[in-house]
Amino acid sequence: MSTLTHSPVCWSTVKAAVEGLKWLKQNQRPHFFRWIKRFALSEASGIKCTEEAKTTFLKSLREQGSFEDWQLEQAEKAVEWYQRAFLSGDGGNTPTAAALSDRADWSDVFEAARIRFRQRGYALRTEESYLAWIKRFGDFFERRAPHSLESTEAGKYLTHLAVGQEVRASTQNQAFHSLRFLFVELLGKDFSDMEGTIRAQHSRKIPVVLSRQEIKRLLDNTAPGYQLMVELLYGTGMRVGECMRLRVKDPDFANGYITVREGKGSKDRRVPLPARLKAPLERRLECLRELHQQDRKNGVPGVALPGALERKYPHAGKELAWQWFWPMKNLSFDPRSGVRRRHHVHVKLVQRAIRQATLACEFSKRVTPHVLRHSFATHLLSSGTDIRTLQELLGHSNVETTMIYTHVLQRGGVGATSPLDELDSGS
């Protein structure tokens, strides 16, 4: 059973090799090359077994239902040739692409980066963020050839972010990791020499918190279709992305908790299921059963599964337990696999609903979904919950991160009485 050897691919080399295939007609070569890129960017490319990788890719194309048989045959031939010529590592006469060559351009960099992200199972948001920083870096140096850039240029760019753009430390740090990925993982260059780089200053900001009365007003003014989501955000302290990614199997109604999976830092944790939400969540579960049955009847492909689970358990995505707890009404195309399936509600829709409720309440504070998380933590702390328990509920790695909420409770200098208020006392 042959296996694949995955490395960053120089697409200019692959394209040149395709153009040199004498047995392939001239007008077929562009399509042949596009099938190869489509395979390389699919989840199937992460499978080491060549036959399994090809079969999984072709299966995903069939599930889309938008390709003719001759197109599937063409795709199969393209993938077979690509695996044999560039991924087998058999040392044959066909050209190999073990790494990005000195002739690689920025389009090669982006494609190789996408492949590496998807092979490692990075979140889509992480992939988009890293690619955006790499693009900004290339634009900053006017698209010079990638291999002509060194770590000193990366230092200049990071200094520009801190001084010229006045970005926050977290933003500069994100750019730093993106550039390190570019130099070390893709270009194979040293990235340790960063002396002289000006680092952005870390700032510690007090979080915005709503009072219990303000929370109630916000919930009362939230659109009915989003009210239960917003109540759950405040009642559990989940991040908005964590809440939207809940599956049917995650709420445990019998034991009164919700399992948050793959939270920040790829950590799982449990949060309390608010008692007042148990009945409405159970009613929603019944609606999800009906939707699930309808999808199965209509032959809708299963939902996306994390990591390699879709390959290990190919039918699990059609089981009720794995369905999204907050599914979209309409089907949409998966940005990675291209399969038209049911996705979960987008985070931006929840953000918009909270903004509209905030405007209706006429709050002077800027309210986002994360403010509900801050309010959850602060109100628990004021009710006597110890800091370690709160740290566990929020999923913080360091208790110092959780300690910020003690400042909101006026346990510092803000709790002192202003001398102005004592002027009338005559003391």
Q: What is the pLDDT of residues 111-122, one digit of tens each?
A: 888 877 876 667
> Does the annotation mark 234 as catalytic?
no
> Does the annotation mark 396 as catalytic?
yes
> Does the annotation mark 82 as catalytic?
no
Structure-block tokens of residue 268? 């799982």
pLDDT per position as a tens digit, 164-194: 888 888 888 899 989 988 988 888 888 877 7
Q: Which residue has the higher pLDDT, 361 or 313?
A: 361
Of 342, 373, 374, 379, which is the active-site residue? 373
Give the rounded percent of residues in the chain with a pLDDT score beyond 90. 41
Nearest CA among 355, 311, 319, 349 for reference residue 332: 349
Q: Measured between alpha carbons, how far is residue 416 from residues 144, 413, 422 in Å?
A: 58, 6, 12
> Does the annotation mark 292 as catalytic?
no
DSSP string, 225-261: HHHHHHHHHHHH---HHHHHT-BTTSEETTTTEEEE-
pLDDT band at 423 (very low <50, low <70, confident <90, very high): confident
pLDDT band at 224 (very low <50, low <70, confident <90, very high): very high
DSSP string, 306-335: STTHHHHSTTGGGSGGGSBSSB-SS-EE-T
What's the one-letter identity of residue 198? I
**How confident is the model at residue 98, as a pLDDT?**
40
**How confident is the model at residue 109, as a pLDDT?**
86
Q: Tell me: domain 206-245+346-416, CATH 1.10.3720.10, correct?
A: no
Sorted by where each begins, the domain ranges of the chain are 11-87, 122-186, 206-245+346-416, 246-343
Of 239, 342, 344, 379, which is the active-site residue? 239
Nearest CA among 36, 47, 31, 44 for reference residue 11: 36
pLDDT per position as a tens digit, 28-71: 888 998 898 888 888 777 777 778 888 888 888 888 777 888 88
Q: Which residue has the higher pLDDT, 333 or 43?
A: 333
Q: Is 70 exceeded by the pLDDT of residue 6?
A: no
Which ranges constitute the DSSP H helices of 343-411? 347-361, 369-382, 387-394, 399-402, 404-408
Of 156, 270, 370, 407, which is the active-site residue? 370
Nearest CA among 344, 309, 298, 340 for reference residue 323: 344
Q: Residue 105, SS3?
A: coil
Q: Which residue has the higher pLDDT, 248 or 80?
A: 248
pLDDT per position as a tens digit, 370-411: 999 999 999 999 999 999 999 999 999 888 888 888 877 655
pLDDT band at 426 (very low <50, low <70, confident <90, very high): low
> Does the annotation mark 370 as catalytic?
yes
pLDDT band at 427 (very low <50, low <70, confident <90, very high): low
Of 264, 341, 348, 379, which is the active-site residue? 264
φ, ψ (nearest 5 deg) of residue 123: -65, 150
> Does the annotation mark 22 as catalytic?
no
Nearest CA among 346, 307, 331, 344 for reference residue 65: 331
Q: Is 60 exceeded by the pLDDT of residue 84?
A: yes
CATH superfamily, with its number, for domain 122-186: Tyrosine recombinase, N-terminal domain (1.10.150.130)
What's the one-letter identity of residue 418? S
What's the one-letter identity of residue 192? S
Q: Is 90 exceeded by the pLDDT of residue 294?
A: yes
Task: Read off the pLDDT of each residue in 147-154 and give the average, rounded to a whole number.
Answer: 88
Q: What is the mean pLDDT of the chain?
A: 84
Contact 382, 354 (CB under 8 A): no
